[in-house]
Structure 1
Amino acid sequence: MHRADDELTHGRKVYVGNLDPESTSTELEEIFRRYGKLSNIWVARNPPGFAFVTFEDMRDARDAVEATDGILHREK
């Protein structure tokens, strides 16, 4: 099994959508690190507007999803 598939299967990788195109991995780290230890952040650039944040523990990923749902939208 591919590592990315394994992370998705075990619930550690969180999709973050509808991001401002100027969002950075540093901004996402500031938001998500309060929920647990992060192992990776990947921000799409072409096309922009989404990212994947991977936690070391799936429980932290679940907590982050519940706590941040809908709060990452910037006013345009």
Structure 2
Amino acid sequence: MSIYIGNLSYEATQEEITQVFAEYGTVKRVQLPTDRETGRPRGFGFVEMSTDAEEEAAIEALDGAEWMGRDLKVNKAKPREDRSSGGSWGGNRGGGGGNFSRRY
């Protein structure tokens, strides 16, 4: 399980986030996704801690806390959705069969 951190400052580093979360237990990993085109931080991240109890303590303490001029959104990370199935332009196209040249 991991923790989602939203509304992060774009200047926040992995080391700074590790220090903040280390107050609540052992930080196993910090991940800060970057934009593919610009390489800049995307304003959110993920933290993995050693135990569920440590994660719960960090979420309880840090959700809504002000850090680096922003109010953090901290909660349990949701599993990544499978983007290849259903919906939009790939995967299961439903009744249309992918014929996009129809005129309406």
Asked whether 1:57 is paired with 2:51, we answer yes
TM-score by length of 1: 0.76
In 1, the alpha carbon distance for the partners of 2:54 and 2:28 equals 12
Shift in Å, 1:42: 0.3
Determine which structure has more spread, i.e. the larger CA radius of gyration.
2
Asked whether 1:17 is paired with 2:6, we answer yes
Structure 1 alignment gaps of length 5 or more: 1-6, 8-12
Aligned residue pair count: 65
In 1, the alpha carbon distance for the partners of 2:5 and 2:50 equals 17
2:64 to 57, 62, 70: 70
* Percent identity for Structure 1 against Structure 2: 31
- Aligned residue in 1 for 2:34: 45
TM-score by length of 2: 0.57
- Higher helix content, 1 or 2: 1
In 2, the alpha carbon distance for the partners of 1:33 and 1:52 equals 14
- Higher strand content, 1 or 2: 1
RMSD of Structure 2 on Structure 1 (CA):
1.6
SS in 2 for 1:59: helix
Structure 2 alignment gaps of length 5 or more: 36-40, 71-104
Of structures 1 and 2, the one with the larger relative CO (CA 8 A, separation 6+) is 1
User: What amino acid does structure 1 have at the position aligned with 2:16?
Assistant: E
